[in-house]
Amino acid sequence: MGIEQIGVVGAGQMGNGIAHVMALAGYEVLLTDISDEALKEARELIDANLTRQVSREKISEAEKTEALARISTTRTLTDLGRTDLIIEAATERETVKQAIFEDLLPHLKPETILTSNTSSISITRLASRTDRPERFMGFHFMNPVPVMQLVELIRGIATDQETFNACMAVVEKLGKTAATAEDFPAFIVNRILMPMINEAIYTLYEGVGSVKSIDLAMKLGANHPMGPLALADFIGLDTCLAIMNVLHDGLADTKYRPCPLLTKYVEAGWLGRKSGRGFYDYRQDPPVPTR
């Protein structure tokens, strides 16, 4: 399975990072989104991030120029049908992902591999709604994609060895490291990380500590580079809640019950950095805790 052209669905936080690293590794990338504005912003962000890599002497100016030239954009989802590998990086809602794959199916080459960057949703279930469950798997990048070294590769129950090998080869060409995860709710990273974040929110909810104290305690007491509440804001509180709901529903264990305070913040539209407010208020510099 020779992979040369890669389609990326979604030009948001994850999609633009995936397009960035794929183009830098030499792949032709076709990036799609429903919004012209999102595609324009994605190109500008990729340009800025590549420029930062040039300034830090991670890449050359020529490599930046070549990478940008490999990225094309389209608002027509079905244009991605001609690519060899498609990575869906849309919002973390199963119905949205299923609709994307259903729209793509009639336009795919027989050999095209379908993957999802989902952080928690069942790969087997997503694959079962397509015509190629054996050529479907989870391809989960960490955020921010150009910086983080890990990729989780998740096989569905029907994923064949050839598909796995092809995706592993892509990870290696990117210069990243793969961790293979079984298809259980939230896989490895988020199965461990999200309950920790949820517990930090419970610690705030129950008045054990303030936002500042909780983040300071974990940074200085556990040597974490970022406190769990600041990390939740970075990830997006809506994403954190979605993953906790997947864990709670999928494993039927009360230890995965989302903290009511997390639900309240999401209901208020306080989603973290992307909305300007979460556990910190980012409309001020430096950001200040909201509780």
Q: Hey, which residues are catalytic here?
A: 119, 140, 152, 190
For residues 153 and 189, what is the distance between their CA atoms, to the nearest angstrom?
A: 11
For residues 29 and 68, what is the distance between their CA atoms, to the nearest angstrom?
A: 10
Q: Using alpha carbons, list the distances in angstroms from residue 46 to 20, 31, 57, 90, 246.
A: 6, 12, 16, 18, 31
Sequence-separated (6 or more) residues with CB below 8 Å from residue 159: 123, 127, 133, 134, 135, 136, 137
105: which 2 tokens? Answer: 């199916």
For the chain, where are the E strands, in sequence order?
A: 5-9, 28-32, 71-74, 85-88, 113-116, 136-141, 150-155, 177-181, 280-281, 288-289
Residue with tokens 């928690």: 120
